[in-house]
Structure 1
Amino acid sequence: MNCLGDSITEGYKNREISWADKIEPLVRAEKINKYGIGGSTVSDYVDEHPMCIRYSEMDDSADFIVIFAGNNDFTRSVPMGEPNDTNTKTFYGALNTLLSGLREKYPNGKFLYVTPLRMWNYAHPKWNEFVEYDKKNKVGKTLKDYRDAIISRCEYYEIPYLDLYNEGLYGRTEKTRNAVYIDGLHPNDEGHNIIASKIAGKLKMQ
């Protein structure tokens, strides 16, 4: 199984242990390949290890491919573009490149795209204020706009998705945030357990 993502998949602030490490016994995978890099975006609008490029370097023999991405495209204000874009400097264009490329690379593979988690009072170094999922970024988009784009392209490429934007980790109050998050974005160990269970449940349906 290949797990492509950002700092959440990397296990940032959680001893580099993430949902990808915890899912192995749940799905009885022979091997888990973690391709999580902190700050990674889908688009190459910014030079942050873009997934629309580095997916091609993943293990060719994987039978399951999980993509968990989009938070950094929102925080780095990647332009949305249009649904049929091929320009990877836009979010739609990068999604089209990534998803069509994965379909070609793994013609018999099974896929799952995990939408971004909501952000709750998260202190991002490139924002002048705390980031909330419903605030607009520098190009006037909310995190939901990126989530909606992901679902649109997944449906086009017939790729199943898990909507963690709406069914992820709740953190509206300090108590609920502290139960599953480290900082309002990155899950703690229990948060990763919950995510692993949700992803495993979705994979078992395929």
Structure 2
Amino acid sequence: MIIDVLGDSITAGCGASSPDKNFVSLLRKKLGCTVNNYGVGGTRIARQRAMHYEYGNDHDFIERLPMMDKSADFVFVFGGTNDYAHGDAPVGDIDDNDEYTFYGALNIIVKYVRENIKNAKLCFLLPTHRLVEKYPFGENGCKKGGCEPLIDYVNAIKAVCARHGLDHIDLYGGGFTVTEENKNEYTSDGLHPNDKGHEFIADKVAEYVRKNS
């Protein structure tokens, strides 16, 4: 069995105390199979219209789709938190099909996987909670035109999954909460999971794979 995981810094392993404790590495151990990690820190699902002051051309998810193993049995897509925090693409509308809105980028990902990784079961992971979920103008004020709350991105992923008949793993409604008081329980910094948080995510994904294999 082969699993592809496309994501951002959380998928790359940020917050884990060592590479073998990030959720992708844990998946390999739990399932005993090949799990390809396509996580790149700072990246977003949707494409930027202008370079970000910190991340520049951040190699968005769509740009990286062709790098993925086309013989995969499962494809997991785990993103959205960076689109919320510092992406310049609007959430958009569910009928969008261009890479410069969040909805449009999601639809492109679905189309690509269905056409190019034909034997894979595609599943989205909803963003985990984070300490600040309602930035008025994005992280560090980078969204001058205002910022939709994280829940809007969560709901967009759910809506796209519903439209295309796809599953999602609810790490938002069914995951851990993050507050100032408990932020160190599951995260290292209020966003990136610590070892306990990565274990939580790995268990959720492993459970899904076992049920759908």
TM-score, normalised to structure 2's length? 0.84
**For residue 9 of structure 1, what is the aligned residue in structure 2?**
11
**For residue 53 of structure 2, what is the aligned residue in structure 1?**
none
- 4+ runs of 1 displaced by more than 3 Å? 136-140
How far off its partner does 1:45 sit? 2.0
Name the CA shift for 1:138/1:114 in 2 (closer, same or farther; >3 Å): farther
Structure 2: segments with no counterpart, 5+ residues: 50-56
**For residue 51 of structure 1, what is the aligned residue in structure 2?**
61
How far off its partner does 1:33 sit? 0.7
| Separation in structure 2 between the aligned mates of residue 170 and residue 95 of structure 1, nearest angstrom | 25
Map 1:77-96 onto structure 2 (within 5 A): 77=87, 78-96=89-107
**For residue 132 of structure 1, what is the aligned residue in structure 2?**
none
Map 1:94-113 onto structure 2 (within 5 A): 94-113=105-124
Secondary structure at 1:205 match in 2? helix
Could you give the per-residue CA deviations for residues 113-169 of structure 1, whole angstroms, max 9, x where no partner exists?
Answer: 1011111159x9x7237xxxxxx9944411110111111111222221011111122
**For residue 43 of structure 2, what is the aligned residue in structure 1?**
40
| Separation in structure 2 between the aligned mates of residue 140 and residue 23 of structure 1, nearest angstrom | 34
Query: Which of 171, 181, 187 is residue 187 of structure 2 equivalent to?
Result: 181
Query: Which of 203, 207, 211 is residue 205 of structure 1 equivalent to?
Result: 211
Contact preservation (8 Å) 2:97, 2:103: yes
Q: Which amino acid aligns with 1:43?
A: A
Q: CA RMSD in A?
A: 2.1
Name the CA shift for 1:33/1:72 in 2 (closer, same or farther; >3 Å): same
Structure 1: segments with no counterpart, 5+ residues: 130-135
**For residue 133 of structure 1, what is the aligned residue in structure 2?**
none
| Separation in structure 2 between the aligned mates of residue 10 and residue 137 of structure 1, nearest angstrom | 29
**For residue 22 of structure 1, what is the aligned residue in structure 2?**
26
How far off its partner does 1:27 sit? 2.4
Q: Which moved more, 1:32-41 or 1:72-81?
A: 72-81
| Separation in structure 2 between the aligned mates of residue 139 and residue 92 of structure 1, nearest angstrom | 18
Secondary structure at 1:87 match in 2? coil
Q: Which amino acid aligns with 1:4?
A: L
Could you give the per-residue CA deviations for residues 160-185 of structure 1, whole angstroms, max 9, x where no partner exists?
Answer: 101111112222242x2211100000
Q: Which moved more, 1:64-73 or 1:151-160?
A: 151-160
Secondary structure at 1:182 match in 2? coil
| Separation in structure 1 between the aligned mates of residue 103 and residue 146 of structure 2, nearest angstrom | 14
Q: Which amino acid aligns with 1:10?
A: A
TM-score, normalised to structure 1's length? 0.87
Secondary structure at 1:153 match in 2? helix
Name the CA shift for 1:121/1:100 in 2 (closer, same or farther; >3 Å): same
How far off its partner does 1:69 sit? 0.7
Query: Which of 130, 133, 158 is residue 119 of structure 1 equivalent to?
Result: 130
How far off its partner does 1:195 sit? 0.8
| Separation in structure 2 between the aligned mates of residue 137 and residue 10 of structure 1, nearest angstrom | 29
Q: Which amino acid aligns with 1:28?
A: G
| Separation in structure 1 between the aligned mates of residue 146 and residue 94 of structure 2, nearest angstrom | 17
Q: Which moved more, 1:191-200 or 1:106-115?
A: 106-115
Name the CA shift for 1:148/1:204 in 2 (closer, same or farther; >3 Å): same
